[in-house]
Chain A
Amino acid sequence: MKPREFSFKRYRKFIIPLIVLLAVTEGAAIVCGATFDSLFGGLGRGILFLGNLYPPDWKAFSEMADPALKTIIIAFLGTVFGSVMSIFFALMAASNLANPWVRNLTRFLIAFERAIPESVILILLVAASGLGAMSGVVALSLGCIGMLGKLLADIIEGIDPLMIESIESVGGNKAQVIVFGVVPQIIPNIISYTLFRFDINIRLSVLLGAVGAGGIGYELDYSFGMLDYHRAFTAIIIIIAIVFGTERLSYYLRKKIKMEGALK
């Protein structure tokens, strides 16, 4: 009595999506030029190549200190300026503070900004005002608006309206409502999202460095271009250390803030 009566109806919900998925995957693989032959050949070559990286160039560590600091500073400045700007954008994009026209326009701007990846912004800025840390900071600040602006605006729309009403009822104007009614309620969120964004910005700052903002990402790209793989390995070690350090720091601070917020 094996399940002789295989009914298509029973498995239809499962088989049709599977066939579609396989067809799309095959199509995408053809477009990408992804084949298992090139994968295994490539992996072999890649693993052989990894041997070229070792050992790291120990002398380059002291040269890399300056670019590493530059990468951290670009991320730091981008986060500070970006979060300050995104607070303004968030206030304008919240439906309980701004009028509908301003709100929708600001929401549109935020969504528009979010649709452009940071590296594309940087390419445009580099074309306009040249290579350098300034373009990187501006690109990261703009990138912050897209993410933090939306998240903070959503939080402002969800805050307790009683506090706003009570300040308005005793004659507070709009600025007072924002300073005493809105900001104290969202401060913990602002800090934790900003720390989270700093974590993202460090990674982006490495990538943007290679596009033209300078810093450790540029050193890595340059070392690969010069075929100086030992130096590149030094840069990779430093980048891993920076990213790991900021991730731990950001996680620790966010956890601490969460605990303090819970106690209040």
Chain B
Amino acid sequence: MSGLDYTLPSKKYKQRMTVFMVIAIAVALACIYTDFNPVVFFSEFHYVRDLFVHDMMPPNYRVLTDDPSTGMAILQTLSMAFLASLYGGVIAVIVAFLAASNTMPYEAVRDFFRFLLSFLRVIPALAVILIFVIAVGPSTFAGMLTLVIVTIGNFGKLFTEMLENVDNPPGEAIFSVGASRMQVIRYSIIPQILPTLMANLIFAFDVNIRTAISLGIFGGGGIGFKLQLAKSVLHYRDVTAIVTLIIVLVTGVEKISNYLRRKILGEDKLK
């Protein structure tokens, strides 16, 4: 046993350093490729500061009092997210029932709906909204339809896994005393998934509010569209006011959603 083992870098250390170096080199190459210099952000920071201090302060809250369309825009964003969570959630549940192995006996149907769900997951929201804007015109309705698609994609797979992970014994018990497949679903599977389902639908609303604001920029209507409009006509003080409204809106929805989910799932279940 020589002391050599202690002086040489250990295998684990070498491995870690390799990973670290690979990431560092990749970051450096990526920075060179996109002309991104992190130092520039700080040396040119006065542009950001000037914008915030001179142009954006104080926030012009008269957009809210003088212009009724701002309040309407907030309402539109809220109802967009609500309708999308409701319809998207309901469709996602139906598709999940058709795609889960313990509720759908035919494998071909299952595979089809699984493929549909994974396709909806990867299809970019940007492409969907651009297509819907052409189909129904740039409106809140286009944003809502996009959100429905996005919700099905995000939550369909989750609901499918939820259905497949339910406890089997209750279902087997009632099946053994002569319940039909439908009755197994009604009296064993649905009661087990209902609380998680409700909590996830509320969570979907929370997620959809943020997405609704982003989609507004591309013609989805609502408060995101107002923000884009105020920015493109360089009314920066209106922009500040709208951004603070967005912060209040998102935080409020998040708090309510957390409270409701905690009530449904119990105190400690919330991740």
Contact = CB atoms under 8 A, between A and B. Distances in A.
B34 A74 contact: yes
Nearest to A112: B247
Given A123-B228, A240-B122, A129 B132 contact: no
A42 B126 contact: no
Contacts of A25: 82-83, 86
Contacts of B140: 31-34
A243 B210 CA distance: 20
Contacts of B123: 236, 240
A112 B123 CA distance: 30
Contact of B80 (A32, A118, A125, A207): A32
Contact of B126 (A29, A76, A120, A220): A220
A30 B187 CA distance: 36
Interface residues of B, number: 64
A27 B78 CA distance: 11
B33 A73 contact: yes
B203 interface: no
Contacts of B35: 133-134
Contact of A76 (B26, B51, B214): B26
Interface stretch (B2-10, B40-48, B58-66, B96-104): B40-48
A240 B79 contact: no
B72 to A, nearest CB: 8
A33 B243 contact: no
A111 B250 CA distance: 10
Contact of A38 (B51, B130, B131, B141): B141
Nearest to A116: B247
B151 to A, nearest CB: 14
Contacts of A249: none
Nearest to B209: A117
B122 A247 contact: yes
Interface in B76-131: 76, 78-80, 82-83, 86, 121-127, 130-131
A159 interface: no
Interface in B9-49: 23, 26-27, 30-31, 33-38, 40-41, 44, 47-48
A80 B79 contact: no
Contact of B134 (A45, A133, A235): A45
Given A45-B136, A236-B127, A119 B44 contact: no
A211 interface: yes
Contacts of A117: 210-211, 213-214, 246, 250
A224 B243 CA distance: 28
A156 interface: no
Contacts of B145: 39, 42
A28 B246 contact: no
A32 B141 contact: yes
A245 B183 CA distance: 41
Given A76-B26, A116-B246, A220 B130 contact: yes
Interface string B236-257: 1001000100110011001000
Contacts of A73: 30, 33-34
Contacts of A41: 136
B30 A243 contact: no
Contacts of A38: 136, 141
A211 B217 contact: yes
Contacts of B34: 70, 73-74, 77, 133-134, 137
B231 interface: yes
A210 interface: yes
B135 A42 contact: yes
B48 A221 contact: no
Given A45-B134, A127-B236, A133-B35, A32 B144 contact: yes
A252 interface: no
Given A73-B33, A206-B126, A243-B124, 8 more contacts: A25-B82, A31-B79, A34-B144, A114-B254, A124-B239, A207-B125, A232-B127, A240-B122
Interface of A: 21, 24-25, 27-29, 31-34, 38-39, 41-43, 45-46, 49-50, 69-70, 73-74, 76-77, 80-81, 111-112, 114-120, 123-125, 127-129, 133-134, 137-138, 203, 206-207, 210-211, 217, 220-221, 224, 232, 235-236, 239-240, 243-244, 247
23 contacts: A29-B83, A31-B79, A32-B80, A32-B83, A32-B140, A38-B136, A45-B134, A46-B134, A70-B34, A77-B31, A115-B254, A117-B211, A117-B213, A118-B214, A120-B243, A123-B231, A128-B48, A128-B50, A128-B51, A207-B125, A220-B124, A220-B127, A220-B130
Closest 5 pairs between A and B when the two form their complex, measured CB to CB: A28-B79, A46-B135, A42-B136, A119-B214, A133-B34
